[in-house]
Chains A and B, each alone.
Chain A
């Protein structure tokens, strides 16, 4: 397939505006500006583009939730807080083709009639934030952004906003809170951001890859886009493959290739002398899939049918050298570290699950541990929490417990009881100085 999102990879100086314009850049935006905003939305609806951030919600549908008669400002936010373990596609677009993203942002902003857009980029991406800043400055200097976008009378400002190290800010309401200058606590829904979003105004939050699809939908048409993949699962998709493959990296493939194609053909298969054991199809928050599920199609619906999810398209490949209990413990550390601490099941559950898994890995597992883990996962997901981080830690851990019970059994069979904790007896040190509480 010809590269669409990654066409600039390998092109010298690809991040500059001149290179981008020479390759036909900003033609999609020109086309969009010639249409009514609703017609742009229609085009995106027809393309059946689904959000690439993880949930796979139809992008055009999301836009239509913005109240049409809302008087005040509306906002578009580009979610570049790429933090899902196993996902590294947005950075690729920003590094090689920042103007593709800016064009996509401009198209989406025009469609929802927003005059301000923010790019919320994760704090660690210092260099990539600078690339975006530079691209925005270039575009503004040439009249592509600013009070007159390409002389159309439509005005758009784009600002880069850096996060500061919080996975939870990839969740859209948490991102909005963070953008407003607060702790990144997800909001209760409803109201949804499209109605009450950033600064209390209608807001659409779209992922980098989603927005990067827009220029080509405009230039080549919805039908062309929908012809890639299969109905409801259309367009090119960036698959990020990491872990035990020969050639890890980002691959742009038509939606719906099988995981076998991705792993074996494009990535050269797992390392020599090892066999595939398991893989996460869409970032670590998706339920794990086993080697026998390798022929599942890598699209939204097929992954859902297989009991997992395409998520962000971050494929983490694990070969037979990996101890799945250790992998679960590793992920539990991640989620316990990243739980915002706002609501009970996720805050307590993620820590608790991590402690249990650490104990099993340390050789002190108990026979009831797998059941306890499943119980924690059950009650930290399925709407028990404010945001999907509960599901995000529950699904991978519970799927590992269910699909690799023999590994837990092996650990637990070899376990020794945890040595009792020795509590030191402290000598009496006299009354505590400075404390005058009763």
Chain B
């Protein structure tokens, strides 16, 4: 492997690595605006200039591959400093500098570089170029454009050309008056449209749903996995206090590179919904608030007394919840358990090798259920499963399958006692005898098995709403209430260790290794300039 010295630090990097990535390995941050590790290299912004020993002119780091013995100076070269100052002055000549009212502030590459390396003076005294009518323009269902802020890096255009393959964005006109637009001003209906705002280094493209809801520096990011389909895109839950504000892509070259589809991304909002905040028990036709202690004690007795027990699980549940449910309801109580699954709209995602991954599964963990040896059923078989009476029916996620909201299903469930775990309003509340509040994905912890077979861990970002508890914990409490000591596994990590020990499909996996490699978000990662 070639060895290269950058600002005095020698590193060995794989052949073909460009100087930006090599410098990152050497602990040197070379600033950039137009470069993106998953897009083609265009060398447009010119801020990544470095001095290569022996070369008469400065070179752009993004388009310079390392060669063995190369000696590179970035921050230590006065020539580089001067050139970058000049490029910044050019970039800021027409930039509105409206950071106080710009929603990108705090996660803006231009602002960051200006703050850390820039100068506070300019030679520019002319009237700034503006794009009247383009300051606050909705260019698609999710994207608002402010062309005045654009620094012409073309990342958004390259994203639509190279990644989402719609080529829906283009430059129009040329020179300093070029601007970003769709064909004839038609809406940007690209299914990955919000990624154009992700790749935008400045506030020229912002996401409408997130705009002005929270300053970027107030957010904390927690690694998680997209619940939208079975591809298993890695994401960050960006949250503040108890509220989830958005999903942003978490880098994973094998799955989603640094992208998210609009469908998955905008599920973020739904994690904040919570109508069921307390355990409820139906007494004389009325649902009454009870304490968790009362509920678990009473349900342990009901479960113990039930001769016929049937359980409906779902592909939305974590491996840990599914495992505990299987062990308690099937192995210990000899009940019947099915996993309700159904097809959603087709989803796709492109990984860092440019391959499309596809899914028709509406749930993130059907594959996990399959690998735990559970029976997967569609709507029709679910109906047959629920036909007739049982001493107790347990519905672990009523929202997971549309059949469970039908009048027919409710009629079937009305005839015998039903326990349902619920977070949001659902018709099952009309018939359930017990309703236990369950936490959202954002407050849960565990693993999903993506359709490719990869087990990925998600971490809890926020506290559950009200008295809600994560699904695995509810099953765990029931097991403990019934005195099943073998299931006294008090954390998802402990549950996963048990899965790895007992299920061949999970053998050899360790909780610790499932979190994914990237511990800093791509955004943070590119903010170091």
Contact A183 B44 (CB under 8 A): no
User: Which residues on A sit within 8 Å (CB–CB) of B125?
Assistant: 366
Interface check B270, CB cutoff 8 A: no
- A351 to B144 Cα, complex, angstroms: 27
The smallest beta-carbon distance between B101 and chain A, in angstroms, is 13
The smallest beta-carbon distance between A191 and chain B, in angstroms, is 11
| Contact string against B for A residues 311-340, beta-carbon threshold 8 Å, 1 for contact and 0 otherwise | 000000000000000000000000011111
- A187 to B238 Cα, complex, angstroms: 38
Partner of A339, one of B93, B176, B208: B176
Contact A188 B41 (CB under 8 A): yes
Q: Which residue of A lies closest to B43 (CB)?
A: A188
| Contact string against A for B residues 68-85, beta-carbon threshold 8 Å, 1 for contact and 0 otherwise | 000000000000000100
Contact A375 B138 (CB under 8 A): no
- A349 to B175 Cα, complex, angstroms: 10
User: Which residues on B sit within 8 Å (CB–CB) of A437?
Assistant: 136-138, 144, 208, 211
| Contact string against B for A residues 364-403, beta-carbon threshold 8 Å, 1 for contact and 0 otherwise | 0010100010010011101111100000000000000000
Contact A375 B152 (CB under 8 A): no
- A183 to B136 Cα, complex, angstroms: 27
Q: Which residue of A lies closest to B213 (CB)?
A: A438
- A359 to B41 Cα, complex, angstroms: 37
The smallest beta-carbon distance between A251 and chain B, in angstroms, is 34
Contact A386 B43 (CB under 8 A): yes
Interface check B127, CB cutoff 8 A: yes
Interface check B10, CB cutoff 8 A: no
Contact A351 to B123, CB < 8 A, known contacts A343-B45, A384-B83: no
The smallest beta-carbon distance between A412 and chain B, in angstroms, is 14
Interface check A227, CB cutoff 8 A: no
Contact B176 A347 (CB under 8 A): yes
The smallest beta-carbon distance between B309 and chain A, in angstroms, is 49
User: Which residues on B sit within 8 Å (CB–CB) of A385?
Assistant: 46
Interface check A409, CB cutoff 8 A: no
The smallest beta-carbon distance between A106 and chain B, in angstroms, is 35
Contact B83 A368 (CB under 8 A): no
User: Which residues on A sit within 8 Å (CB–CB) of B93?
Assistant: 348, 352
User: Which residues on B sit within 8 Å (CB–CB) of A382?
Assistant: 57
- A366 to B123 Cα, complex, angstroms: 11
Contact A348 to B90, CB < 8 A, known contacts A339-B175, A341-B175: yes
Contact A336 B175 (CB under 8 A): yes
Interface check B383, CB cutoff 8 A: no
Contact A188 to B42, CB < 8 A, known contacts A336-B176, A339-B175, A356-B126: yes
Q: Which residue of B lies closest to A380 (CB)?
A: B90
Contact B211 A343 (CB under 8 A): no
Contact B45 A344 (CB under 8 A): yes
Q: Which residue of A lies closest to B124 (CB)?
A: A352
Kindly name the residue among A344, A375, A385, A438 whose own CB sees the greatest number of chain B CB atoms within 10 A: A344
Assign chain B's interface to a size class. 35 or more
How many A residues have CB within 8 A of the partner chain?
39
- A421 to B130 Cα, complex, angstroms: 15
Interface check B105, CB cutoff 8 A: no
Contact A348 B91 (CB under 8 A): yes
A-B contact count (CB 8 A): 108
The smallest beta-carbon distance between A333 and chain B, in angstroms, is 11
- A385 to B90 Cα, complex, angstroms: 12
Contact A379 B152 (CB under 8 A): no
- A375 to B83 Cα, complex, angstroms: 11
Contact B46 A343 (CB under 8 A): yes
Interface check A87, CB cutoff 8 A: no
Q: Which residue of B lies closest to A436 (CB)?
A: B138
User: Which residues on B sit within 8 Å (CB–CB) of A344?
Assistant: 44-47, 87, 90-91, 151-152
User: Which residues on A sit within 8 Å (CB–CB) of B90?
Assistant: 344-345, 347-349, 352, 379-380
User: Which residues on A sit within 8 Å (CB–CB) of B175?
Assistant: 336-341, 347, 350-351
Contact A348 B212 (CB under 8 A): no
User: Which residues on B sit within 8 Å (CB–CB) of A212?
Assistant: none
User: Which residues on B sit within 8 Å (CB–CB) of A338?
Assistant: 175
B window 206-222: CB within 8 A of A: 208, 211-212
- A188 to B127 Cα, complex, angstroms: 32
User: Which residues on B sit within 8 Å (CB–CB) of A380?
Assistant: 90
The smallest beta-carbon distance between A360 and chain B, in angstroms, is 11
User: Which residues on A sit within 8 Å (CB–CB) of B151?
Assistant: 344
| Contact string against B for A residues 280-303, beta-carbon threshold 8 Å, 1 for contact and 0 otherwise | 000000000000000000000000
Interface check B517, CB cutoff 8 A: no
Partner of B211, one of A342, A435, A438: A438
Contact A350 B176 (CB under 8 A): yes
Q: Which residue of A lies closest to B103 (CB)?
A: A438
- A379 to B41 Cα, complex, angstroms: 22
Interface check B58, CB cutoff 8 A: yes
| Contact string against B for A residues 95-137, beta-carbon threshold 8 Å, 1 for contact and 0 otherwise | 0000000000000000000000000000000000000000000
The smallest beta-carbon distance between B119 and chain A, in angstroms, is 13
Interface check B131, CB cutoff 8 A: no
Interface check A252, CB cutoff 8 A: no
User: Which residues on B sit within 8 Å (CB–CB) of A435?
Assistant: 136, 138
The smallest beta-carbon distance between A164 and chain B, in angstroms, is 12
User: Which residues on B sit within 8 Å (CB–CB) of A379?
Assistant: 83, 86-87, 89-90
Contact B58 A383 (CB under 8 A): yes
| Contact string against B for A residues 146-176, beta-carbon threshold 8 Å, 1 for contact and 0 otherwise | 0000000000000000000010000000000
The smallest beta-carbon distance between A95 and chain B, in angstroms, is 30
| Contact string against A for B residues 257-275, beta-carbon threshold 8 Å, 1 for contact and 0 otherwise | 0000000000000000000
Contact A352 B87 (CB under 8 A): no
B window 94-125: CB within 8 A of A: 94, 123-125
Contact A183 B171 (CB under 8 A): yes
Interface check A355, CB cutoff 8 A: yes
B window 155-178: CB within 8 A of A: 171, 173-178
Contact A345 B87 (CB under 8 A): yes
Interface check B377, CB cutoff 8 A: no
User: Which residues on B sit within 8 Å (CB–CB) of A386?
Assistant: 43-44
Interface check B63, CB cutoff 8 A: yes
Interface check B129, CB cutoff 8 A: yes
| Contact string against A for B residues 36-69, beta-carbon threshold 8 Å, 1 for contact and 0 otherwise | 0000011111110100000001101001000000
Contact A375 B86 (CB under 8 A): yes
Contact B83 A372 (CB under 8 A): no
Q: Which residue of A lies closest to B123 (CB)?
A: A372
Contact B176 A438 (CB under 8 A): no
User: Which residues on A sit within 8 Å (CB–CB) of B42?
Assistant: 188, 342
User: Which residues on B sit within 8 Å (CB–CB) of A384?
Assistant: 46, 49, 58, 83, 86-87
- A100 to B142 Cα, complex, angstroms: 58
- A188 to B61 Cα, complex, angstroms: 12
User: Which residues on B sit within 8 Å (CB–CB) of A166?
Assistant: 174
- A421 to B125 Cα, complex, angstroms: 13
User: Which residues on A sit within 8 Å (CB–CB) of B144?
Assistant: 437
Contact A355 B126 (CB under 8 A): yes
- A122 to B89 Cα, complex, angstroms: 35
Contact B176 A348 (CB under 8 A): yes
Contact A347 to B152, CB < 8 A, known contacts A338-B175, A437-B136, A437-B208: yes
A window 421-435: CB within 8 A of B: 421, 435
| Contact string against A for B residues 130-152, beta-carbon threshold 8 Å, 1 for contact and 0 otherwise | 00000011100000100000011
- A351 to B176 Cα, complex, angstroms: 7
User: Which residues on A sit within 8 Å (CB–CB) of B94?
Assistant: 348, 351
- A348 to B57 Cα, complex, angstroms: 21
User: Which residues on B sit within 8 Å (CB–CB) of A348?
Assistant: 90-91, 93-94, 176
Q: List 13 A-B contacts (CB under 8 A).
A: A336-B176, A339-B176, A343-B46, A344-B46, A344-B87, A345-B87, A351-B176, A352-B124, A379-B90, A383-B57, A383-B58, A386-B43, A437-B137
Extra pairs beyond A336-B176, A344-B44, A384-B46 (9, CB < 8 Å): A341-B173, A344-B47, A348-B176, A351-B94, A368-B123, A379-B90, A435-B136, A436-B138, A437-B144
Closest 6 CB pairs of A and B: A383-B57, A379-B86, A348-B90, A355-B126, A351-B176, A341-B178
Residues on A facing B (Cβ under 8 Å): 166, 183, 188, 336-345, 347-352, 355-356, 359, 366, 368, 372, 375, 378-380, 382-386, 421, 435-438
